[in-house]
Amino acid sequence: MGERYLRSVRLLAECMQGFERFSGESVRQCGLTHAQFDIIATLGNTAGMTYKELGERTLITKGTLTGVIDRLEQKGLVVRQRSGGDKRSFHVSLTESGDALFQQVFPTVILHGKQLFASYNDADYDAIELTLGKLKALIANAGAVASVGAPSSPPQPKEDH
């Protein structure tokens, strides 16, 4: 059982690393890092959002988010303003230059990614979405159980027949 788990986790990690290398190529050509692109793509076509919302909607950790936004602000691509009466909360939005970059870069990166999956049909997408959705729920559930302080015994997987 342990060997199968390790094989699956390794395969998942290798897929993620390969995808990041593949997608990083088109992102770098646009002069952005993965994290910067994630912020630009998330803010695109919105009036902006708070740090909290960005953290929930991106793949960027809380500790990294401020630095990424700092660098995007230095490039003149985003602007941040205090959010309401809370002195600790900021609202981040794209500048005119940031929006222009989003309009240019987003379609290019999406097209590049779609080329990778060109051989996928609806059944392929359904299968991967089902499997990854189950994995995401399993991980989220395990995290919720652990954060409540309950004994963290992971759910037992179904036996392979």
161 falls within a domain: no
What digits encode the pLDDT tens for the residues 108-123? 889 988 999 999 999 9
What digits encode the pLDDT tens for the residues 54-111? 999 998 888 899 999 999 999 999 999 987 777 678 899 999 999 999 999 899 889 9
Predicted TM-score (pTM) above 0.85:
no
Question: Are the beta carbons of 144 and 155 closer than 8 angstroms?
Answer: no
Please state the domain count of the chain.
2
User: If we measure between CA atoms, which residue out of 96, 48, 87 comes closest to residue 69?
Assistant: 48
* Residue corresponding to tokens 């989003």: 102
CA R_g for the chain: 19
Which of 54 and 160 is assigned the larger pLDDT?
Answer: 54
- 54, 99: one domain: yes
CATH number, position 35: 1.10.10.10
Residue 44's pLDDT is what?
96
